[in-house]
């Protein structure tokens, strides 16, 4: 059973802060509000099990949009290079 916090739903679960921060940044760039809920035990730097969870949560109303974005195929190197050169 997934735990929820009020009107927030989990869309991503990992064991590292930096991975969760990347996901939050991607969501927020798309206009989707997100928060990081960290259950990690930093005292022992655990990376497995219950004490290593880092959740990314979004409002229930944005969950479908967030999952669609996160499940979308990543851009290729060529597409990224083109996007960068066209933004200059």
Separation CA 17–CA 20 (nearest Å): 5
| Domain membership flag for residue 31 | yes
| Domain membership flag for residue 2 | no
Average pLDDT over residues 60-79: 90
| Domain membership flag for residue 3 | no
| Domain membership flag for residue 40 | yes
Query: What is the pTM assigned to this prediction?
Result: 0.72
Higher pLDDT: 60 or 39? It is 60
Closest CA to 15 of 47, 41, 39, 38: 47
Higher pLDDT: 10 or 74? It is 10
Average model confidence (pLDDT) for the chain? 83
């Amino acid at each position: 059973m997934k735990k929820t916090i009020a009107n927030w739903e989990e869309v991503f679960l990992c064991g590292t802060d930096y991975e969760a921060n990347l996901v939050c940044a991607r969501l927020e760039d798309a206009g989707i509000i997100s928060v990081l809920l960290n259950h990690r035990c930093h005292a022992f730097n655990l990376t497995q099990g219950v004490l290593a969870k880092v959740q990314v949560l979004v409002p229930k109303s944005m969950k479908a949009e967030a999952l669609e974005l996160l499940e979308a195929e990543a851009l290729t190197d060529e597409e990224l290079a083109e996007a960068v050169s066209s933004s200059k």
